[in-house]
């Protein structure tokens, strides 16, 4: 049995409420699964599903709006971090204690290249090029 979408469930429940309001007499009671319901209780029973699905829709809209706002703020903050880091480095230098207060670490300096290290790099590059070369 296929799953029904929220829109289908909402439409179905709203149609049932409309049908109850239009077709069923208000002064009667209706029995469902051994329980008696008044006209208003019966309509409220199905209206509860409509209300719950409407609440989900509005909550998702609020969430989408909040996510869009956070992404916009994040883009602005991310764009200014390098400039701010430079400002902090100029003011305090590249001291680890000053940078750690902002959650940053001192960039590592590359070590000296030895002949063996350079040779290993060249061999790795050749192996990569060979592995990625198109095969005919």
Q: What is the pLDDT of residues 69-101, one digit of tens each?
A: 999 999 999 999 999 999 999 999 999 999 999
Which pair of structure tokens corresponds to residue 27? Answer: 């002064």
What is the model's pTM?
A: 0.64
Contact 99, 81 (CB under 8 A): no
Residue 121 in this model has a pLDDT that exceeds 80: yes
Residue 28 in this model has a pLDDT that exceeds 90: yes
What does the pLDDT look like over 98-115, one tens digit per residue? 999 999 999 888 888 899
Which pair of structure tokens corresponds to residue 63? Answer: 């969430």
Give the whole-angstrom CA distance, residue 31 versus residue 37. Answer: 6
Neighbours of 9 (CB within 10 A): 15
Q: Which helix (H) or strand (E) holds 37?
A: strand 35-38
Any idea what DSSP says for residue 35?
E
Contact 53, 10 (CB under 8 A): yes
Alpha helices in the chain (DSSP H): 6-23, 39-92, 96-101, 115-132
């Amino acid at each position: 049995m296929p799953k029904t979408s929220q829109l289908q469930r909402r439409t179905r429940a709203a149609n049932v409420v409309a049908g109850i309001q239009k077709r069923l007499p208000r002064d009667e009671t209706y029995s469902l699964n051994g329980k008696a319901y008044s006209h208003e209780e019966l309509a409220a029973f199905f209206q509860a599903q409509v209300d719950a699905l409407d609440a989900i829709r509005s909550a998702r809209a609020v969430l989408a709006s909040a996510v869009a706002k956070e992404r916009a703020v994040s883009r602005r903050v991310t764009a200014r971090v390098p400039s701010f880091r430079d400002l902090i480095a100029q003011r305090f230098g590249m001291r680890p204690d000053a940078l750690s207060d902002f959650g940053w670490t001192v960039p590592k300096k590359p070590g000296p290249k030895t002949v063996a290290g350079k040779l290993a790099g060249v061999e790795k590059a050749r192996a990569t090029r060979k592995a990625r070369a198109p095969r005919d």
